[in-house]
Amino acid sequence: MKKFWETDKIKLRKLKAEDAFKLYEAQHDSEAIRVYEPGIYPIRSLSEYEEYVERKIKDNYAFAIDNLNNEFVGTASINGVDERNGTFNFAIRVFNDHQRKGYARDAFTLLLKYGFEECRFTKANSITIDLNVASIEMHKKLGFEIEGRKRNNVFTEGSYHDEVLFGMTKEEYESHYK
């Protein structure tokens, strides 16, 4: 019997205190940070990451992504929950040395399933920067629609870039995944 928080490639779990060190190390992957955050920010100390993880441990919508070898390969979270309107945002990051293995796609799918089938949300929203071509393509493959752009909204690498806004309604989810 398949477990709710698992796919054939990953499983989601609560963050643990020891995950802080991997997040601390991952901040030096400038290209990944540039498209995930987006932009480059000042270097944070290990203690800042430990405090961050401690806060996230208390968050019911923050997860670690482990592959089936129990390696910590990324993070996934539901955020921007608007209970009144039934909408949510989410963010997924797979560490550079684990990308292109389907982990992000599976984490997307689990968060969508949880949001639509368990939390009764009616719409998922997501944002990425125009530099993140892989994320844009994955959103499209997963059934998201481009809803707009925030033009010249992010400054990185010496120039401005657009944020691309994606959305998926519950009906679109059911059509795509059922």
CATH number at residue 113: 3.40.630.30
SS3 126: strand
How far is Cα 79 from Cα 136, in angstroms, rounded to an integer?
19
Q: What is the mean pLDDT of the chain?
A: 92
Question: Looking at the predicted structure, is the pLDDT value of residue 20 above 80?
Answer: yes
For 150-174, write each residue's pLDDT tens digit. Answer: 999 999 889 999 999 999 999 999 9
SS3 66: strand
- CA-based nearest residue to 88, from 106, 113, 53: 113
**pLDDT band, residue 35 (cuts 50/70/90):** low
For 83-96, write each residue's pLDDT tens digit. Answer: 999 999 999 999 98
Domain membership of residue 80 (yes or no) is: yes
Domain membership of residue 53 (yes or no) is: yes
Which two structure tokens, joined as six digits, stand for 93? 């990051």
pTM of structure: 0.89
Domain membership of residue 4 (yes or no) is: no
Which two structure tokens, joined as six digits, stand for 4? 């709710």
Domain membership of residue 2 (yes or no) is: no
Give the per-residue pLDDT at 31: 72
Q: Which residue range forms the structural domain that includes residue 138?
A: 10-177
Q: For residues 47-76, give the mean pLDDT.
A: 93
Domain membership of residue 16 (yes or no) is: yes
Task: Give φ, ψ of 115 to 5 degrees.
Answer: -65, -45
Give the per-residue pLDDT at 50: 93
Count of domains in the chain? 1
Domain membership of residue 166 (yes or no) is: yes
**Which residues is 169 bridged to in the sheet?**
123
Domain membership of residue 3 (yes or no) is: no
Q: What angle do CA 60, 62, 68 make, to 5 degrees?
A: 115
Domain membership of residue 1 (yes or no) is: no
Q: For residues 104-118, give the mean pLDDT.
A: 96
